[in-house]
Structures are given as structure tokens and as C-alpha cells.
């Protein structure tokens, strides 16, 4: 009897605890939801601090809770929120300058260039930009090179050595583990699956990586050359000989202006502002200021342009923040198409591609939208393979010089565990009614007939992909074949070969969309809007941890990334339009 009482009291206790947690969440939501609408109090003589050590996404995302609207989220720390904040700071009399302080930027190269361009425009206002680093990574330095004065810690370091990309190969791992990937591909440059069928990089893959890395590096060097007044040839020598590897050499190479400690850096800003050294400097973090600027920017207008963000891998399904699904993208296109106040659509693409089926479904929705109103594409860091598929039929395509695009190729990949099963003493037997009933089994290798069926589907998709590009870009199939075969191109190259119309960022894409819609002033509406479930809400509040969080803590960041890459590739079932290699550039 006492045992039953103890069990019953434990169960009651659990329910009471959960109820208290739930009520607490509601109270927290109500509390945060009713906070100040200003976000931050900007004082006179303030300095805007540009520290971007959080993951920078083009779109910070809008999240809605169907049952708890007071918990709705509309974050303002996306790339273009930050750029808008920098633009607003140009005319904000309380902001006297910008400090890029120990940045450790967590953004792509094209995103970094977009921020850099915004800072160059800010300098035209006559306000100062200064930068300080204990450690400058190459992307940190690329951004900071716009500064009037660059400081480096006396015991710090500056990385200036050129770019590299690393790819893991798993063929031997597959042989040893017994778990392998069955691969069928089309396009000699389509090397997304190369790590599963080879032990080393192919010449074609090495060629395309080398071409695009050198193109990116040349763009960075040219920008730095202009800002620092150092010839490009000299920058190449500095990188080759590591002539900026310590503070003394960095200053001798003219990559930095002052070797000093952080307190001296702060004192320098105080001196520029005429502030007593004993007084505190008014620092405004960019994340807070972005919220403030958004409240202050009043661009209400009856005319609107929809900006729809397609950011992340393309998957078949609903999609979520960081993953492009035809569900959310097509719903956004339909809303924009049916809203009479929305006069044009700008599709902002930052995606390596993914599901061929989802790409085609999104393409179809874009085609329907084009018949009603202008559709313009703005490419971010990447719009490759499936990302280019959905871009190809826009009225006009804009890309950054450092955008990676193209990769017009197709592959199919299926996991196979035959050898692994044999090693574990597992045998699979099939019983069929028809000779082709077994189109695929995890426990059996693909036979010639199955492989032919898959290849037939891949050829059909490749043919459709090429046709879409030819029609959208007004090219012949022969011209498409020259730029296809899975090869990747930078934005600059893509303009030259007809894949892209013009170099420029989202601002130019919006300007062109307004011109096509024949409007001068407009308000931007951002899509998609995501839903959030209770599990995710609890995780965000730290009450529970996801399995991904636990794995990351146990394995460490680098090991977790390797595991995640293997898992991601093994989960890509069916025919894929995907960027051919790892996108991480170091």
C-alpha cells in the first residue's frame, strides 16, 4: 500500500512540476513580449559596435506559435537587418562611428562582402570606422580592412595566407565498415558523391575548386588593395611568405596601423570623440541597434515587394529555418502572388541545392508567379545545383562577385549495408510477385537492372534541368552543356557565361524589381513564416536538450561536423541536385 502511495505521489509531483514549467513559460513569454519597443537606449556620442560572432543568416526568420501568439519571434539579427542598421547609423546623429571589435565573424564570404560594402557606404557620411583584433582571421581582416585605423594586440596574430578547402574521402572507411553508398551520377564535374567512390580528389574536381578559390581570393585581395593602398602583387607576396604572421610583421606590411592593447584602442576612440579618458564610452551592440533601427525606419507604403528567402539545403517537405522545403517556399510565393499590395517578388537564394523533386515543385510555383508579377533573384553566398535550378527562370538574376553558382548536374545515392550485415551475421531474403518488385534493398547491392533504372531517372532529371536553364536563360541546349556537367562558377564568371544577368546585392535586385513593377516607393514584406513546436520551445529555454546538442558536447565541434556530414549525405535519398563538395572555405 505504501509503495502505491509513493508511486502515486511521484506521478502527481511530475505533473505539478510540468504544470509549473508550462505556466512559467507563458509568464516568460508575456514578460519578453511586452518589453520595450525601442530595444536599446542610444545616447549621444555613441559608437556602434560591430561584433558578429553569432551565425549570420541572410534571414533571421519569423516564427509563429499557433496557440501562443505572445511568444511569436521576429528576430532582427539577419544579414540585411544588420546592413539596414548600418545604413540607418549613417544619419543617426547620436552614432559617431563604428567599432569592429574582436569580430570573429561567422558568415560566408559573400555575406562578409555585403557587410563590407555597407561599411564603405557608411564611411561616406564622414563618420569613423576603427577595428581591433586579438586575432584576425582572413574574413575578419577582409571586413576590417575598410577601417580608418586597424589595431592589433601586441601578442595577437593576423591570418593572411590565402584560401583553402578540404574534403574528406570515405571509400576505405566504407570498405572497412561494410556500410557503403550506391552512387549514380551525371556530369564530369558533379563530385558531390566523389568521397564515396574514390580515395582522392579527381582532376576535374581539383580544377573547379582551384578556379573558384582563386576567383574568391582575387576579389578579396582587390578590395583590400583599394582600402589599404597596397598593390595586389604585394598582397600576394605577403600571403605567400606569411609576412603578417605576427604583429610586428603585420605593421611592417601595412596591414595594420597600430600595435596596441585594447584599453589603448578604447582610449583612441575617446580621444576622437573628445571624451575624458576616465569616462565610459557609450557602446551600442549591433544586435541591439538593429532592433532599434527597425523601429525607427518608417517605410510604410501601400506598395510592397516580397522578399522570399530560400536559405539552406533543399528538401522535399515543409521546410524550416535553415532548410528549404517546397511547403514553406511555395506557400510564400502563393501569398505574394495573391496579395494585390505586393507588386513584385525578390527570391533571395543562399542554397547548395538538394532534392530534385522539391526544386522542380518550387520552379513550377515561380513560373506561376512570373505570369502575375515580376520575379527577381538575388544570389547570396551560394545558389548552386538545385539553388540554380529555382533561380534559372527569374526575370533577372543578380549575384555577388563571390557568389558560387552553377553545378548543373544530377546524382542519385542510396545507402547499402550488405557487407555490414554479412559481418554481423545478418542475411536478408526477398520474396517477390514480379521480377522488378525489389527496386532497392538496404541489404543488397544494386544489380545492373536496378542501376539502369536509376540512371534513366537521372538522365531524365538532367535533361529537364538543362531544358529549364535553356528556356529561362534564353540559351541553346548546346550552350547550356558548355556551362553544365556539374561545374561550379563564381558570380563574376556566371555573368560572363550568361548564367547571371548582373553583379549586385539585394539592394540592386529590389531596385530592379521596383522598376519592373513601375513603383518608386515600397515596403518590404519578408517570407517565409515558420511555426514552432513545444519541444523546440522547451529546448530554447534550456529545459531539455536535443540529441544534437548532447552529441556536440560529447564529440566536440569538429568531430560532430564530420558525423553530421556523413549522416547528411546518407540521408539524401533519391535524385539530388546538390553542390559538389564541402562549402567550408578556410
**Axis crossing angle, helix 109-123 with helix 79-91, rounded to the nearest 10:** 10
| Residue 205, H or E segment | helix 203-228
Q: Are 427 and 421 in contact (CB under 8 A)?
A: yes
Q: What letter would DSSP give residue 309?
A: E
Q: Cell numbers of 349, please? A: 537564394
Helix extents (H) in 229-309: 232-241, 247-252, 262-273, 286-296
Chain position carrying cell 558570380: 491
- SS3 for 182? strand
Q: Which of 398, 367, 373, 369 is nearest to 383 (CA)?
A: 398
- Of 145, 191, 215, 385, the catalytic one is 385
Q: Which of 87, 86, 79 is nearest to 107 (CA)?
A: 79
- For residues 509 and 519, give the distance between their C-alpha atoms in angstroms, rounded to a whole number: 14
- Of 190, 221, 418, 532, the catalytic one is 190
CA–CA–CA angle 68, 54, 245 (5° rounding): 175
- Strands (DSSP E) found in 206-262: 258-259
What are the φ/ψ torsions at residue 449 (nearest 5 degrees)? -70, -45
How many angstroms from the chain centroid is the CA of residue 245?
Answer: 29
My answer on whether omega of the bond before 528 falls inside 30° of 0, hence cis, is yes
What's the Rg (C-alpha) of the chain? Answer: 26
- For residues 214 and 216, give the distance between their C-alpha atoms in angstroms, rounded to a whole number: 5
Active site residue 582: no
Is residue 66 packed enough to be buried (19+ CB in 10 Å), middle (13-18) or exposed (0-12)? exposed
- For residues 404 and 350, give the distance between their C-alpha atoms in angstroms, rounded to a whole number: 9
Active site residue 200: no
Q: Are 396 and 376 in contact (CB under 8 A)?
A: yes
3-state SS, one letter per residue, for 108-137: CHHHHHHHHHHHHHHHCCCCEEEEEEEEEC
Q: How far is CA 368 from CA 176, 331, 441, in A?
A: 50, 12, 38
* Residues forming the active site: 190, 385
Amino acid at each position: 500500500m505504501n509503495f502505491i502511495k509513493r508511486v502515486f505521489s511521484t506521478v502527481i509531483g511530475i505533473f505539478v512540476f510540468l504544470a509549473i514549467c508550462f505556466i512559467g513559460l507563458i509568464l516568460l513569454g508575456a514578460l519578453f513580449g511586452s518589453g520595450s519597443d525601442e530595444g536599446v537606449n542610444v545616447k549621444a556620442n555613441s559608437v556602434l559596435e560591430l561584433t558578429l560572432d553569432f551565425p549570420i543568416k541572410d534571414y533571421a526568420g519569423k516564427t509563429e506559435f499557433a496557440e501562443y501568439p505572445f511568444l511569436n519571434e521576429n528576430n532582427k539579427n539577419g544579414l540585411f537587418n544588420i546592413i539596414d542598421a548600418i545604413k540607418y547609423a549613417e544619419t543617426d546623429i547620436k552614432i559617431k562611428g563604428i567599432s569592429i571589435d574582436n569580430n570573429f565573424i561567422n558568415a560566408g564570404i559573400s555575406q562578409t562582402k555585403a557587410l563590407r560594402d555597407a561599411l564603405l557606404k557608411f564611411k561616406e557620411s564622414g563618420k569613423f570606422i576603427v577595428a581591433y583584433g586579438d586575432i584576425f582571421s582572413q574574413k575578419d581582416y577582409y571586413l576590417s580592412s575598410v577601417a580608418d585605423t586597424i589595431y592589433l594586440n601586441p601578442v595577437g596574430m593576423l591570418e593572411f595566407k590565402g584560401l583553402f578547402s578540404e574534403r574528406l574521402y570515405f571509400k576505405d572507411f566504407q570498405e572497412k565498415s561494410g556500410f557503403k553508398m550506391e552512387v549514380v551520377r551525371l556530369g564530369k564535374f558533379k563530385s558531390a558523391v566523389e568521397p564515396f567512390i574514390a580515395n582522392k580528389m579527381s582532376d576535374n574536381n581539383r580544377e573547379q575548386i582551384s578556379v573558384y578559390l582563386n576567383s574568391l581570393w582575387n576579389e578579396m585581395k582587390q578590395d583590400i588593395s583599394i582600402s589599404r593602398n597596397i598593390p595586389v602583387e604585394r598582397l600576394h607576396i605577403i600571403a605567400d611568405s606569411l609576412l603578417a604572421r605576427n604583429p610586428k610583421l603585420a605593421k611592417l606590411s601595412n596591414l595594420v596601423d597600430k600595435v596596441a592593447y585594447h584599453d589603448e584602442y578604447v582610449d583612441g576612440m575617446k580621444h576622437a570623440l573628445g571624451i575624458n579618458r576616465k569616462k565610459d564610452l557609450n557602446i551600442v551592440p549591433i544586435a541591439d541597434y538593429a532592433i532599434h533601427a527597425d523601429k525607427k525606419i518608417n517605410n510604410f507604403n501601400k506598395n510592397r515587394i516580397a522578399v522570399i528567402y530560400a536559405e539552406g539545403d533543399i528538401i522535399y517537405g515543409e521546410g524550416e529555418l535553415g532548410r528549404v522545403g517546397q511547403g514553406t517556399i511555395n506557400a510564400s510565393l502563393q501569398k505574394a502572388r495573391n496579395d494585390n499590395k505586393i507588386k513584385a517578388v525578390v527570391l533571395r537564394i543562399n542554397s547548395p541545392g538538394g532534392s530534385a523533386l522539391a526544386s522542380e515543385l518550387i520552379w513550377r510555383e515561380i513560373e506561376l508567379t512570373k505570369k502575375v508579377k515580376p520575379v527577381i533573384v538575388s544570389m547570396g553566398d551560394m545558389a548552386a545545383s538545385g539553388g540554380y535550378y529555382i533561380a534559372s527562370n527569374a526575370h533577372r538574376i543578380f549575384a555577388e562577385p563571390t557568389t558560387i553558382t552553377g553545378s548543373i548536374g544530377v546524382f542519385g545515392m542510396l545507402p547499402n549495408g550488405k557487407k555490414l550485415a554479412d559481418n554481423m551475421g545478418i542475411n536478408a531474403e526477398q520474396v517477390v510477385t514480379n521480377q522488378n518488385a525489389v527496386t532497392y534493398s538496404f541489404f543488397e547491392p544494386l544489380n545492373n537492372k536496378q542501376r539502369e533504372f536509376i540512371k534513366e531517372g537521372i538522365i531524365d532529371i538532367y535533361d529537364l534541368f538543362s531544358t529549364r536553364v535553356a528556356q529561362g536563360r534564353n540559351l541553346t541546349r548546346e550552350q547550356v552543356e558548355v556551362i553544365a556537367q556539374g561545374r561550379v562558377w563564381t558570380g563574376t564568371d556566371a555573368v560572363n557565361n550568361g548564367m547571371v544577368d548582373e553583379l549586385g546585392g539585394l539592394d540592386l535586385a529590389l531596385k530592379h524589381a521596383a522598376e519592373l513593377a513601375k513603383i518608386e516607393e515600397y515596403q518590404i514584406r519578408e517570407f517565409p513564416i515558420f511555426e514552432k513546436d513545444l519541444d523546440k520551445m522547451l529546448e530554447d529555454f534550456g529545459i531539455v536538450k536535443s540529441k544534437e546538442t548532447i552529441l556536440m558536447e560529447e564529440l566536440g565541434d569538429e568531430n560532430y561536423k564530420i558525423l553530421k556530414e556523413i549522416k547528411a549525405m546518407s540521408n539524401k535519398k533519391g535524385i539530388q541536385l546538390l553542390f559538389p563538395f564541402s562549402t567550408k572555405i578556410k
